[in-house]
Amino acid sequence: MERTIKKIIPLSDQVKNHASQEDAKEQEYEGNIAEIISTGSTLLDLAISGGRVRGGGLPSGILVEIFGPFGSGKTVLLCEVAGAIQRQGGQVMFHDPEARLNKQFARQFDLDTDILEYSTPDTVPEVFSSVREWNPKARGINGIFADSLAALSTEMELSDKDQYGMRRAKEFSEELRKTCRVLVNKNLLMVCSNQVRQNLGAGPYGQKYISPGGESIGFYSSLRLRTNKPSKIKENKKIAGKDVTRVVGVEVEVEVFKSSVWKPYRTAPLTIIFDYGIDDIRQNLQFVKDYTENKMYTVAGEGLHASLDKSIQMVEENELVNILRNEVIDLWGKIEQRFVKERKPKR
């Protein structure tokens, strides 16, 4: 599959009308959209910042938290973004408290572990102090990744002087307050994963699930992406006259839970195929079929095949990846414009 790094190009006519109303409010949005990187998913990129820049994506100079249940694609998203930064020529610092990253897994995302600034920190200050001290030489976007924040502890907790972990939330608050301004000043992108846990004290009207580390992570994050419970993708094969079924991947809905980058609460479907990563072609083909009147999978109006797998193969073999992606961006822009309300500006 052809992997592409997005470059900033002018908004299409379909998106311009939608974006023009945001121009006056541009100063309210965070992140440097002159430097932007893909998540590996066209639809997720659009949900994040498609109204600010054609194709959307993650801007530099911000903190991103990706939180959700186990097995919902958080690490995959981190590695997709980290690999994209390396392909663009940027430097990557990768903190791995759970020590789960390995070369075989990273290779799926073109992530070269030999040139990573890699560590397995134990405590909150270890992660964030290294960010403030980091001075990468590469131009463009340079990225810091932490997988995951839930695994971090404190010196007091490690020495059993803080058995209930009360100090951890305070350290997150202290470190984030000092670090977020550095991300802006150095034009760095920091992406962290986090787990969700049941909030036993929520009550009938409270938030049932929270991410560990206190409220400071959510407060200081410019962008929070919530991955929901995955559903299995199954494939059937006829082997020796018998039907054999295997789970080959998962589908996850990702919600822009909080955003200072653009508008919140957009959602995007994510398909993750084992030993491959995010299958952007699959979701793009399905999006075009769902929001046009085509009865089969198409690219630029040309029919491919009734089978999704066969259509994916045809897109790859005929190098139609970028054509399909641009069709999705234009179609998404037309849909967004349907929701634009023409209102007189407040005086």
CA distances from 48 to 55, 224, 267 (A): 10, 10, 9
Contact assessment for residue 261 and residue 62, using Cβ atoms and an 8 Å cutoff: yes
Identify which has the larger pLDDT, 247 or 138: 247
Q: Nearest-CA neighbor of 332 among 60, 24, 41?
A: 41
Give the tens place of pLDDT for each residue, 146-167. 998 988 987 655 555 554 456 7
Identify which has the larger pLDDT, 224 or 21: 224
The reported pLDDT for the residue numbered 4 is 44
How far apart, in whole angstroms, are the C-alpha atoms of residue 112 and residue 105?
A: 10
The reported pLDDT for the residue numbered 233 is 95
Q: Nearest-CA neighbor of 80 among 272, 318, 320, 268?
A: 272
Identify which has the larger pLDDT, 194 or 16: 194
In CATH, which of 3.10.450.50, 3.90.25.10, 3.40.50.300, 3.40.50.720 is domain 13-20+29-278? 3.40.50.300
Judged against a pLDDT cut of 50, whether residue 18 lies above it is answered with no
**Would you call 241 exposed, middle or buried from its count of C-beta atoms within 10 A (0-12, 13-18, 19+)?**
exposed
The reported pLDDT for the residue numbered 47 is 98
Identify which has the larger pLDDT, 16 or 341: 341
- Provide the b/e sequence for 87-107 (b: ≥16 CB within 10 Å): bbebbbbbbbbeeebeeebbe
A 10 A CB-CB count for 173 gives 18
How far apart, in whole angstroms, are the C-alpha atoms of residue 207 and residue 214?
A: 13
Q: Which of 43-57, 175-189, 209-223, 249-263 has the lowest mean pLDDT?
A: 209-223
Q: Nearest-CA neighbor of 271 among 235, 324, 231?
A: 231
Where are the domains positioned within the chain? Answer: 13-20+29-278, 279-338
